[in-house]
């Protein structure tokens, strides 16, 4: 089980003093900090819009007038002109001889998937503010299936490099041996299937099963498996408790959860975890809480295993049924 944990809360340790992102020296300084952060948020939203509308991709081909860019992207010129001016004002775009361009020094950055994640994620989460406010009042959860499907894509984009680099190396020798011999592994909450496919590729004899309650995500996971020509991985629409009774002592449970930082936990992880009377777990959930849940569900042992992912704020848990 892979779980994201806010570092200052690991193992109940004393939290280190956190440096504020605001200037706390006075009320005026605090408001100025809020204004600066608010401006950054609006810029981030416009960067995401540029990615979504392919404006950056069109500019990669060379400098363009706003009329040319609008035509190439199929957008209204007036909006594109205002967008270009906004990007110019913060240095994301350059301007020369009536044409806009992407500075060569940041071309890779503004066209990278991770940039898309930050920009799109911000816009999507803010768009769900009314739902979150209601959840705060009622204590209910928010069904992820009712959210913008781009949320799942954002998580996939952000965590894919991490899974590709560390997921398999961080598995314990015991787990690797079982999978190499043809064991079974369940990826619970598999999302778009990236982590399950990585495991299927690394262990061709293993049987990998990915489950998620979002049908849209599962369809994309199936497409990914077909694209990679993987025959040892399957995906189905199911809840997290549907596979439990069929587990044996030789099975492996992998839960690569997609939690990042406390604000994201409040906005996405906790509302999802509160669904259907859930335990309301989030990124600040201590290890002892997970251990209580797993032991209560019939597992005989539950241990935290040090691994390279710890540097990225994750905890690797191994639970066994004897």
Residues 155 and 271 in one domain: yes
Overall average pLDDT of the 134-158 stretch: 79
180 versus 297: the higher-pLDDT residue is 180
Residues 60 and 169 in one domain: no
Question: Residue 124 — pLDDT band, cuts 50, 70, 90?
Answer: low
Give yes or no for residue 253 having a pLDDT over 70. no
Residues 188 and 310 in one domain: yes
244 versus 73: the higher-pLDDT residue is 73
* pLDDT score at 43: 84
Beta-bridge partner residues of 318: 303
Q: What angle do CA 287, 256, 298 make, to 5 degrees?
A: 55
10 versus 317: the higher-pLDDT residue is 317
Residues 131 and 191 in one domain: yes
* pLDDT score at 239: 76
> Which of 14-18, 99-103, 185-189 has the highest average model confidence (pLDDT)?
99-103
Residues 130 and 107 in one domain: no
Residues 135 and 277 in one domain: yes
Residues 96 and 136 in one domain: no
Burial of 246 (0-12, 13-18, 19+ CB in 10 A): exposed
Give yes or no for residue 313 having a pLDDT over 80. no
Residues 231 and 134 in one domain: yes
Instruction: Report DSSP letters for 180-222, one per residue.
Output: HTT-EEEEET-TTSHHHHHHHHH-TTSEEEEEES-HHHHHHHH
Q: What are phi and psi of 224, to 5 degrees?
A: -60, -45
Instruction: Report DSSP letters for 290-303, one per residue.
Output: HHHHHHHTT-SEEE
* pLDDT score at 2: 43
Q: Is residue 280 part of a domain?
A: yes
> Which of 9-13, 168-172, 223-227, 314-318 has the highest average model confidence (pLDDT)?
223-227
Mean of the per-residue pLDDT values of the chain: 80
Quote the domain boundaries for residue 56.
Answer: 24-111
Domain-ending residue, one of 111, 134, 168: 111
Overall average pLDDT of the 72-87 stretch: 94
Q: Which of 222, 302, 205 is nearest to 255 (CA)?
A: 302
% of the chain at pLDDT higher than 70? 80
Q: What is the CATH number of the domain that holds 37?
A: 1.10.10.10
In angstroms, the CA 143 to CA 92 distance is 36
Q: Which of 13, 30, 8 is nearest to 21 (CA)?
A: 30
Contact 65, 136 (CB under 8 A): no
Give yes or no for residue 135 having a pLDDT over 60. yes
Give yes or no for residue 258 having a pLDDT over 50. no
pLDDT digits (tens, 9 = 90+) for 43-67: 887 887 888 888 999 999 899 999 9
Q: Is residue 196 part of a domain?
A: yes
């Amino acid at each position: 089980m892979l779980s994201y944990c806010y570092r200052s809360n690991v193992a109940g340790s004393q939290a280190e003093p956190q440096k504020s992102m605001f200037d706390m020296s006075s009320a005026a300084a605090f408001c100025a900090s809020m204004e600066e952060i608010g401006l950054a948020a609006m810029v981030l939203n416009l960067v995401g819009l540029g990615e979504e509308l392919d404006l950056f991709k069109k500019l990669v081909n060379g400098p363009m007038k706003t009329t040319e860019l609008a035509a190439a992207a199929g957008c209204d010129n007036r909006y594109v002109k205002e967008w270009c001016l906004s990007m110019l004002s913060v240095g994301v775009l350059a301007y020369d001889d009536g044409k806009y361009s992407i500075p060569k020094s940041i071309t890779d950055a503004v066209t990278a998937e991770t940039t898309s994640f930050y920009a799109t994620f911000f816009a999507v989460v803010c768009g769900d503010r009314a739902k979150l406010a209601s959840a705060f009042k009622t204590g209910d959860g928010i069904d992820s299936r009712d959210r913008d499907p781009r949320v799942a894509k954002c998580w996939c984009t952000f965590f894919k490099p991490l899974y590709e680099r560390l997921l398999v190396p961080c598995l314990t020798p015991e787990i690797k041996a079982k999978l190499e011999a043809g064991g079974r592994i369940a990826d619970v909450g598999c999302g778009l299937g990236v982590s399950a496919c990585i495991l299927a590729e690394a262990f061709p004899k293993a049987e990998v099963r990915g489950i998620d309650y979002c049908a849209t995500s599962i369809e994309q996971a199936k497409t990914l498996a077909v694209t990679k020509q993987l025959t040892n991985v399957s995906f189905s629409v199911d809840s997290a408790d549907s596979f439990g009774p069929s587990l044996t002592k030789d099975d492996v449970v992998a839960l690569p959860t997609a939690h990042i930082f406390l604000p994201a936990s409040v906005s996405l992880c906790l509302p999802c975890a509160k669904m259907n009377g859930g335990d309301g777990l989030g990124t600040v959930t201590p290890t002892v809480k997970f251990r209580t849940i797993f032991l209560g569900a019939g597992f005989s042992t539950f241990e935290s295993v040090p691994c390279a992912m710890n540097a990225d704020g994750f905890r690797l848990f191994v639970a066994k049924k004897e």
